[in-house]
Amino acid sequence: MPKSTALFFWVMAASLMHAAQTKDQYSSPSRPDYSYIGPFYYLPKTALPTLMEAFGDRPISESPNGRYAVTVTGPKESDRACVTIMSMAGSGHPVCVQRVSRNVNVLWRPDGKAFALTDNRYANASYVLVFWPGLRGILRGDISHSWIKNLTPVITKAVKKHMRKYYGRHNYKYFVDTLMFYVKAMRWIGNHELLVGVDARTAGPVTFPSQGIKEWYLSYLINANQNKIIREVRIAHLPKYGIGITEHARHPFAPARARSSPSRTILPAASQHERLVAFLRHYVGPLDSDGNWKTRYRSAYIDLDGQGAKDVIVYLTGRSWCGSGGCITLILAPQGTSYKVVTRLTITWPPIRVLDKTSHGWHDITVWVRGGGILPGYEALLRYNGKTYPSNPSVPPAQRLTKPLPGKIVISSKNFGTGKRIER
């Protein structure tokens, strides 16, 4: 046996001895957020999935029947680390079945003949795959797609029906951007049905509640054999399946701002910065809600309408505000001791420029557009129409610039993702 192969099996055996000592771990009230799915958590005595990381911990997950084991192997680098299956009987060779970008969760089927894999591939998206059935075939090197079922498309299709109904077909097609979309395998129900949870956030027209920001908490029971949805499971019924829900998710179709603390009001502030922080604290919502504790912002104070008072351009970053096409930009105007939203721009990237030219008394603005299928990117011109700026810079009336126009950069593209935290 080659020395490298022998070393691999020695490491696996040592890890399995440690795993045997900690087997049958369950969630407890002190760790309700183990599932890393935001609004959902495991109730006591519900078996947990095994979290494995590309850059960190790589525990061994042994199948319930003791025949197979799964872990992450390879370099601790994105897309070079690998989900690896091996036979506990020593037959065959360890086989890489899925590259790991960030981390994965492994959830074995009760009979141990298949497992669900939650692939947390991106900061704002995750997917669910089922390796099913015939693990022996995989260990013989047969890793064709016939052994792998991707459940994410059928789930995405079901969720999009809710989104189209909420925003309307036209708005959904042209003005809605998905900021985050997490699909997680939560629990096997028997050996054929898989309970999955969806935690998503969309940004739509500002005329909708909460300036168009909508949070989605959904769950589905799926026939993993047939890759079909059996039924949607109401959030309130999840405890019957051993899954808890936070108070934040008990009303999945309520506007996000309605869930904010009623005592969170904007008080008079002495400076522009204090007024802006107070506004953002209210706009973002509870800072301990899912994802918002990582929200950062960059701001630029500039008189856009020539009235003497400083307006504010705010660029929000964080998983609650960014998608594959970019992040949210707010254009704010003073209103009393606070601010009002003139426009919420979706899918924007810096640099953000304010041009010398004006439209209806307000300076034109440009943002960078790229990602979400738009490559390599371009500068988009946004003109004020008397009420607002175009909210989506990738579609008309926003215009693609073919040459630079005079203006100045107010939010730079340098050090993207950095910025100030919203003070409590």
Of residues 281, 275, 314, 322, the one with CA closest to residue 298: 314
Q: Among the three residues 232, 259, 286, which one is the final residue of a domain in this structure?
A: 259
Q: What is the mean pLDDT of residues 384-406?
A: 90
Q: Helix, strand, coil proportions of the chain in percent (round to 5)?
A: 20, 40, 40
pLDDT band at 11 (very low <50, low <70, confident <90, very high): very low
pLDDT at 30 over 80: no
Which percentage of the chain shows pLDDT scores above 90?
35
Task: Answer whether residue 366 shows pLDDT above 50.
Answer: yes
Sorted by sequence, the CB contacts under 8 Å of residue 137 that are 6+ apart come out as 147
Residue-level pLDDT at 416: 63
**339 lies in the same domain as 289:** yes
Residue 22 has pLDDT above 80, yes or no: no
Same domain, 339 and 282: yes
Indicate if 287 and 235 belong to the same structural domain.
no
pLDDT at res. 206: 73
Q: What is the pLDDT of residue 3?
A: 41
pLDDT score for 88:
81
pLDDT at 301: 93
Cα–Cα dist 80/220, whole Å = 32
pLDDT category of residue 140 using cuts at 50, 70 and 90: low
- Are 140 and 280 members of one domain? no
Low-confidence winner among 119-133, 175-189, 352-366 (lowest mean pLDDT) = 119-133
Q: 91 and 193 share a domain?
A: no
Confidence band for 20, pLDDT divided at 50, 70 and 90: very low
> Of the ranges 110-114, 243-247, 376-380, which one carries the lowest mean pLDDT score?
243-247
Exposure class string for 340-376: b at 16+ Cβ within 10 A, else e: ebbbbbbbbbbebbbbeeebeebbbbbbbbbbeeeee
Same domain, 1 and 119: yes
From 149, 181, 210, the end of a domain falls on: 149
The structure tokens listed for 5 are: 């192969």
Indicate whether 268 pLDDT > 60. no
| Tally of domains in the chain | 3
pLDDT at position 287 is 52
Pick the last residue of a domain from 207, 238, 259: 259
Tell me, yes or no, whether 120 and 21 share the same domain.
Answer: yes
Q: How far apart are CA 131 and CA 152, in angstroms?
A: 13
My answer on whether 266 and 380 are in the same domain is: yes
Judgement on whether residues 202 and 71 belong to the same structural domain of the protein: no
* pLDDT computed for residue 139 by the predictor: 57
Q: Specify whether 290 is located in the same domain as 402.
A: yes
161 and 193 share one domain:
yes
Percent of the chain with pLDDT over 70: 76
Which parts of 39-114 are beta strand (E)? 40-42, 50-53, 61-62, 68-73, 81-87, 95-100, 103-108
How does residue 83 score in pLDDT terms, banded at 50, 70 and 90?
very high
pLDDT digits (tens, 9 = 90+) for 220-235: 999 998 999 999 999 8
Whole-number Cα distances in Å, 35 to 51, 56, 157, 194, 344: 9, 17, 24, 15, 32
Give the whole-angstrom CA distance, residue 326 versus residue 216: 20
Mean pLDDT of the chain: 78
The pTM score is 0.61
Residue 201 structural domain = 31-43+151-259
Lowest mean pLDDT among 160-164, 211-215, 294-298, 346-350: 211-215
Whether residue 144 sits in one domain with residue 63: yes
